A and B are shown apart, each in its own frame.
Chain A
Amino acid sequence: MRKVAILQFPGTNCDLDTKYAFEKMGLRTSIIWHKETTIEDDVDLVVVAGGFSYGDYLRSGAIARFSPIMETVKTYASNGGKVLGICNGFQILTEARLLEGALKRNENLHFISRYQTLRVENNSNVFLSSCEKGEVLNIPIAHADGNYYIDDEGLKTLEENEQILLRYCDENGDNLNVNGSVSSIAGICNKEKTIFGLMPHPERAIEDILGSEDGVKMLKGLLSL
């Protein structure tokens, strides 16, 4: 891994936390303002950071997907470039149709902000390659629109292609549906396993003093890029 580029839209608020997390892991980072149209050649991972791009107006991520940088991200991704979307970043990637499905309002209509246990569903991808299948991780979630939707046929395809990355679960690893998501899904990737999206915030779980270091375990796989 040479460098991580972190996208910044108006309303993004996890860009600096994400930068801090990757730098703590010894990586070089750069922040790309959404009006820019280039991704430097030495970038091995583009992160669409969390927050409230464009105030979540219309739908979360709906307006950000039309920012100039997103065309460049699409080209970068179509050439095999790795992209990680966290929370609002996941919403932006689904709106941009870089990932399948959609994220809608939580079933209980609440903004849920707390530590949440997650089960690793598949590790046959670079993102979760340092985690064990079935492993339970403790990572914060903070969202109002994290209710993942995909139709039955789409769900079947995700399962067959090992595209489901994470599911919400209880401490014992049993499914726990926190927000109404289809099949308790917390994160997915594309068929080629190059684009990753998840609602939880690994960048907020990198120091034991703040409750968990499981975010490091999760992001560590990306170091091999």
Chain B
Amino acid sequence: MIAIVNVFLKEGVLDPQGKAVHHALDTMKFEGVEDVRIGKQIIIKLSETSKAKAIEEVTKMAEDILANTVIENYTIEIVE
């Protein structure tokens, strides 16, 4: 089973990298870009076969280390 964890800075926490890329897209004349947020994706291969247990385990990983919940939010997607 594979878990995909996406980590992003929370709304309201300025994302300097997203802002720089947004500026670049504007410079390149891409129109209609309203916001750009940059995060990271962590792909975890698990031996667990129960989806519920996998989510429970990965949630703990996200809370403990993968995300800093002072400034970041995360989403978890289980695939396969």
In the complex, per-residue mask of B34-70: 1 if CB is within 8 Å of any chain A CB, else 0? 0000000000000000000000000000000110101
A108 adjacent to chain B (CB < 8 Å): yes
Please, which residues of chain B bring their CB within 8 A of the CB of A105?
16-17
- Contact between B68 and A102 (Cβ–Cβ < 8 Å)? yes
- Contact between A66 and B71 (Cβ–Cβ < 8 Å)? no
Q: How large is the interface on A (under 10, 10 to 19, 20 to 34, 35 or more residues)?
A: 10 to 19
Complex CA gap A126/B68 in Å reads 30
B44 vs chain A, min Cβ distance (A): 13
Please, which residues of chain A bring their CB within 8 A of the CB of B71?
102, 104, 149
In the complex, per-residue mask of A8-41: 1 if CB is within 8 Å of any chain B CB, else 0? 0000000000000000000000000000000000
B14 adjacent to chain A (CB < 8 Å): yes
Complex CA gap A180/B13 in Å reads 11
Q: How large is the interface on B (under 10, 10 to 19, 20 to 34, 35 or more residues)?
A: 10 to 19
A212 adjacent to chain B (CB < 8 Å): no
- Contact between B66 and A58 (Cβ–Cβ < 8 Å)? yes
A217 adjacent to chain B (CB < 8 Å): no
Please, which residues of chain A bring their CB within 8 A of the CB of B17?
105, 109
Question: Known interface pairs A102-B70, A104-B71, A149-B71. Does A109 touch B16 (Cβ–Cβ under 8 Å)?
Answer: yes
- Contact between B16 and A149 (Cβ–Cβ < 8 Å)? no
Complex CA gap A106/B17 in Å reads 9
Closest chain A residue, CB of each to CB of B19: A107
B25 adjacent to chain A (CB < 8 Å): no
Instruction: Kindly name the residue among B13, B14, B16 whose own CB sees the greatest number of chain A CB atoms within 10 A.
Output: B16
- Contact between B16 and A66 (Cβ–Cβ < 8 Å)? no
- Contact between B16 and A106 (Cβ–Cβ < 8 Å)? yes
- Contact between B20 and A149 (Cβ–Cβ < 8 Å)? no
Complex CA gap A64/B44 in Å reads 20
Question: Known interface pairs A58-B65, A62-B65, A66-B65. Does A101 touch B70 (Cβ–Cβ under 8 Å)?
Answer: yes
- Contact between B16 and A180 (Cβ–Cβ < 8 Å)? yes
Question: Known interface pairs A104-B9, A104-B13, A180-B14. Does A95 touch B20 (Cβ–Cβ under 8 Å)?
Answer: no
Please, which residues of chain A bring their CB within 8 A of the CB of B16?
104-109, 147, 180
Closest chain B residue, CB of each to CB of A95: B68
Please, which residues of chain A bring their CB within 8 A of the CB of B14?
107, 180
A220 adjacent to chain B (CB < 8 Å): no
Please, which residues of chain A bring their CB within 8 A of the CB of B9?
104
Instruction: Name A's B-contacting residues (CB within 8 A).
Output: 58-59, 62-63, 66, 94-95, 101-102, 104-109, 147, 149-150, 180
Q: List 4 tightest A-B contacts by C-beta distance, closest first.
A: A102-B70, A102-B71, A107-B16, A105-B16
